[in-house]
Amino acid sequence: MSFLFGGFVNVAQTVKAAQNNATTVENDNVFRVGMEAGYPPFNWTQQDDSNGGVRIAGNEEFAGGYDVEIAKIIAEQLGKELVIVKTEWDGLVPALQSGKIDAIIAGMSPTAERKETIDFSDIYYKSDLVMVVLKGGAYEEATSIHDFSGAKVTAQLNTFHYSVIDQINGVLKQTAMDNFTAMRVALQSGIIDGYVSERPEGVSASAKNKNFAMIEFSEGFVTNEEDTAISVGVAKNSELTGKINEILAGVSQEERQQLMDEAIKNQPGTDTEQSSISWVVSILKENGPMFVRGAGMTLLISMVGTILGFLLGLIVGVIKTIPVPVKKARRVLQRIVHALLAIYVEVFRGTPMIVQAMVIYYGSALAFGIHMNPVGAAIFIVSINTGAYMSEIIRGGILSIDKGQYEAAQAIGMNHFQTMCNVVLPQAIRNILPATGNEFVINIKDTSVLNVIAVTELYFQTKSVAGNNFRYFESFFVACVIYFVMTFTVTRILRYLEKRLDGPANYSMNQMQV
């Protein structure tokens, strides 16, 4: 566990960087670009600034790839400092709309649906659609999209890639997946037979993983130019659109192709001849700092969120158990307070944390112009979510205490507040300690959804590692072990605390000798 808790030092630096990044929202000297940093050769995450890598905001890692090179050209011509904001794909458009970023440069196509919510620049790359399949499989020799009749095929969620699958007669269209890492895992494990992609990604996947093959079609998908084109996404009616178009017009097709060729060449490589055990060792050796920082961020958010959520739940739980006042005015006030607390509890217990994260982080910026830094927003979200659950747990713990103890406390002159502090809560907290531990463990795992608001916790870091080395089982196995170590350690610490609170099983009284 030392390497996990040692990550808190790096996490503190990450939090500070994230806070500094949050202050750049209104900074005209900064060009903030959103991308996944996990879609080679367009963009990926790396450990240093080799091959022109740019540091990711709020992180110790760097982003590289074709999109990064295009972003550097645009930023230089704009006379601004380039800042890369690493965000899950589903969070890119909300981040742009809410002003968290200035542009999306992430291999995004200017489809008609997307044009309804954001604007796009001119095309900065154009590609063809391909299919990535298992080498040696039933579809390796396919030449037409119709050869995939009866095949299980998918594509990335919220992309036109997924819609073109309907052009294959008899295809078994699978549920869309939210990122390429998930699709590659599904392909390698045999869950799907292929996924639709663009040629640069197909070249990368087949070159870096000996189990993959790229299919280029003689009879392919019917697409519009906007579907196979890639543009820079900007906010509606942004003045950046014209400026970016002028800059892109000065980049020749030869230069663009050279940048793509270099990106394919420079993307993180793999040694496909290693065994799985050797791969685990290599992944830990090469990407250990990323796992440490991700685990540290996960522990930081879950620990602080659980503590704050417990305190919030304690306040709510105590308020909901206050006896009905005698005076009518106080009874009315109590009912109003109880109604508001009930709404809070039901809303946050009845909606997923990932939805709460999107609404609070992006919604606060859109509706009120409040720009929170990702880490602060994550802690706030986990805290109020935990508080909703803990309020009911604590209320149950209070109600579990025998009424005779209330009566005894009142008989010796204690008021309600004194009774709660000195008699009821010490027993109730001991009774709910196992449930509190469960909430802590759940929060450790639930932080994995916070990558939609640009929090680079353990799961997001693991996806970046897997996207770079194309070794999905080994990468996620490392993450699985780290998650288990964290949850197992937390569980053991809480059980130790339970035993300490219980005291010894047998008591002995010292007899006084007369």
CATH topology of domain 279-502: MetI-like fold (1.10.3720)
Query: Where along the chain do the CATH 3.40.190.10 domains lie?
Result: 2-124+230-268, 129-215
Q: How far is CA 68 from CA 26, 45, 145, 194, in A?
A: 22, 11, 32, 28
Question: Given pLDDT bands bounded at 50, 70 and 90, which one contains residue 9?
Answer: very low
Taking a C-beta distance cutoff of 8 angstroms, is the pair 433, 496 a contact? no
Taking a C-beta distance cutoff of 8 angstroms, is the pair 442, 491 a contact? no
Buried b (16+ CB within 10 A) or exposed e, 3-30: ebeebbebbeebbebbeebbebbeeeeb
Q: How far is CA 60 from CA 80, 138, 428, in A?
A: 21, 43, 43
Residues 6+ apart with CB under 8 A from 338: 319, 320
Q: Which is more confident, 461 or 6?
A: 461
Q: What is the mean pLDDT of residues 482-510?
A: 81
pLDDT in the model for residue 174 = 97
For residue range 368-384, what is the model confidence (pLDDT) as tens digits?
889 899 999 999 999 99
CATH, range 2-124+230-268 = 3.40.190.10
Q: 190: helix, coil or strand?
A: coil
Helices 276-319 and 374-399 pack at an angle, to 10 degrees, of 60
CA 41 to chain centre: 21
CATH superfamily for domain 129-215: Periplasmic binding protein-like II (3.40.190.10)
For residue range 417-462, what is the model confidence (pLDDT) as tens digits?
888 888 888 888 888 988 999 999 999 999 999 999 989 999 999 9
Other beta carbons within 10 Å of 396: 14
| Predicted confidence (pLDDT) at residue 306 exceeds the cutoff of 60 | yes
For residue range 37-70, what is the model confidence (pLDDT) as tens digits?
988 899 999 989 999 999 999 888 999 999 999 9
Query: Where along the chain do the CATH 1.10.3720.10 domains lie?
Result: 279-502
Q: How many helices (H) and strands (E) does the chain have?
A: 20, 13
